[in-house]
Amino acid sequence: MNGIYTALICSFDENGKVNEKGLREIVRHNIDVQKVDGLYVNGSSGENFLMSADQKKKVFEIVKDEVKDEVKLIAQVGALDIDEAVELAQFATDLGYDALSAVTPFYYRFDFEEVKDYYNTILENVDNKMIIYSIPALTGVSMNLEQFAELFENEKVIGVKFTAPDFFLLERIRHAFPDKLIYSGFDEMLLSAAVLNVDGAIGSTFNVNGQRAKQIYALAKESRIDEAREVQKVTNDLIAEILANGLYQTIKEILKAQGVDAGYCRKPMKRLTEDKVENAKAMAAKYC
């Protein structure tokens, strides 16, 4: 399960319905062009929290059908509705996904015992492995080393997608749990995380920048830090331009410029202006 995983973008048509043809093209682009080691399906980058349960299932089905066993697949099943999370976990497991992931429950101010019960409830209803998805900036849920240790007591919890800039905590988790998988979740900080010996990374910009992400990770593992820093610099130049232009919309427009039917984002995400579409095309020409 080590390596570089794309947080998969999902293609939608102008009415917000899953565009199967486009989704399959995005999957193939990630495998054949970006050469990533796996796909993280129905995460934030896939606009998961804007979709119905049926739409999420459709995405799981299409991606598994396209991938077969070419690369590893992680299914993000987290939802505020615990019954939906369990249902999606069972569905993805039956499809043959290699592991599950679930964002910490959000919006309400859940205490840690409630967060722990959420994960244990999902896992007691399914025969699969779990990767905790920790992204405090969006969920408001921060956990300390002792709390991660409690979650890891469940043998089915095999690791964490760590999307936080707290490198002290990241190092402490790595030191305390050498046998757990740690994936870096901030694309712009991949090198810094790789130096701390993470097991891989999961990122949205890997849809268009996966090859560089693999370079950074490999160079860091070989202690070729100066070379890795140069690749991270180019990567961060691209990320800065993407963020200034509109994250998910711009990634889709870069993919379109490469001939991939990446479609549109679901409302309430807005469409890019013509100027921003042109910016995205320029990024594709410059970086891809």
Is 202 annotated as ligand-binding? yes
**Dihedral, CA of residue 193, residue 212, residue 71 and residue 249, to nearest 10:** 100
- Considering 133, 183, 248, 264, which one is annotated as catalytic? 133
Is 185 annotated as ligand-binding? yes
Is 188 annotated as ligand-binding? yes
Residue 78 identity: G
d(CA 166, CA 145): 12
Contact 255, 264 (CB under 8 A): no
214 flagged as catalytic: no
221 flagged as catalytic: no
Is 163 annotated as ligand-binding? yes
Is 94 annotated as ligand-binding? no
- Considering 56, 64, 72, 161, which one is annotated as catalytic? 161
The sign of the CA dihedral 84, 138, 207, 7 is: negative
Is 142 annotated as ligand-binding? no
Is 69 annotated as ligand-binding? no
Is 45 annotated as ligand-binding? yes
* 257 contacts: CB under 8 Å, gap ≥ 6: 280, 281, 284, 285, 288
Contact 4, 212 (CB under 8 A): no
141, HSE (Cβ side, Cα atoms, 13 Å): 22
Residues serving a catalytic function are 133, 161
Binding site listing: 44-45, 163, 185, 187-188, 202, 204
Annotated binding residues for pyruvate, as ranges? 202
